[in-house]
Structure 1
Amino acid sequence: MMAKAARAAAAWRTYREVTKPGTPGMMTRVRAIPRMIGAVTRGRYDGMGRGKLALMALGVVYILSPIDVIPDFLVLVGVADDFGVFLWLIASLLGESGRYVEHERRIIQGRLEG
């Protein structure tokens, strides 16, 4: 029961962050994800480390992998662990990509001013 509440709270925090006035919108964040990944891997964005990017990649592998810590044949519990990883991954990607978009905006603004 506690895990459900934590996942719901994480989803709510992500929703509030994405819909906060003045912050990048959902589609802006989604479109920024490939640019952010490229910038992190090339060392051009230090707002997110390669370790966190690797952890996110492991989350994708875990979701897609047929091998789970909690087997899916334990229907509700087995699917819940995948869903928890999915929520964490989405929340992390949307949060980080929003910060990356702000980073891009600061760079563009700096070029315009300088």
Structure 2
Amino acid sequence: MVGTLRRRMAWTALLRVFKPGTPGLGKRIAAIPRMIAATMRGQYDGKSRLAMTAVAGMYIVSPVDVVPEAVFLLLGLVDDAAVVAWLAGAILDETERFLEWERQQAMTIPGQSVPGFPSDGRGRPA
């Protein structure tokens, strides 16, 4: 059930990126290196999601992916489109989750500000 919910959230994240009040595409892209670093340090709990997006990215660029295109033509391209759409949605969903995590961290650690978010001068989000 949780896996299905996460997949559904990844697909709908593509649509939410343009919703007012959510982080913009620039903030999400800028958060990716921080998200990877925080995950590798063990501060952020995104290891499995980061691994799945890496696997999807490797599938898209791997020579193994050429086989479906060579054999099934259109069906092979549809499979690529589905993986790319899922990958984009998963990245957008995870960066939104990470930015919220960063915001929560900034609220619990006085004097820390979140990159890309305005602060009130005392390190707290405005």
Which amino acid in 1 is paired with 2:106? Answer: I
Q: CA deviation at 1:33?
A: 1.1
Query: What secondary structure sits across from 1:44 in the alignment?
Result: coil
Q: Counterparts of 2:40 and 2:85 in 1: how far apart (Å)?
A: 23
TM-score normalised by structure 2 residue count: 0.70
Q: Match of 2:107, as an amino acid?
A: Q
Say whether the 8 Å CA contact 2:14–2:88 is kept in structure 1: no
Structure 1: stretches of 5+ with no match in the other structure? 1-9
Rg larger in 1 or in 2?
2
Q: How does 1:67-106 map to 2 (within 5 A)?
A: 67-68=64-65, 71-73=68-70, 74-106=72-104
- Calculate the TM-score normalised by the size of structure 1: 0.76
- In percent, how many aligned pairs have the same letter? 42
Deviation at 1:35, TM superposition (A): 1.1
Aligned pairs for 1:27-106 within 5 A? 27-46=26-45, 48=46, 50-68=47-65, 71-73=68-70, 74-106=72-104
Return 5+ residue gaps in structure 2 as ranges: 1-10, 111-122
Q: Which structure is higher in RCO with an 8 Å CA cutoff and minimum separation 6?
A: 1
Runs of at least 4 residues off by over 6 Å = none
Larger proportion of helix? 1
Please provide the CA RMSD for this pair: 1.9
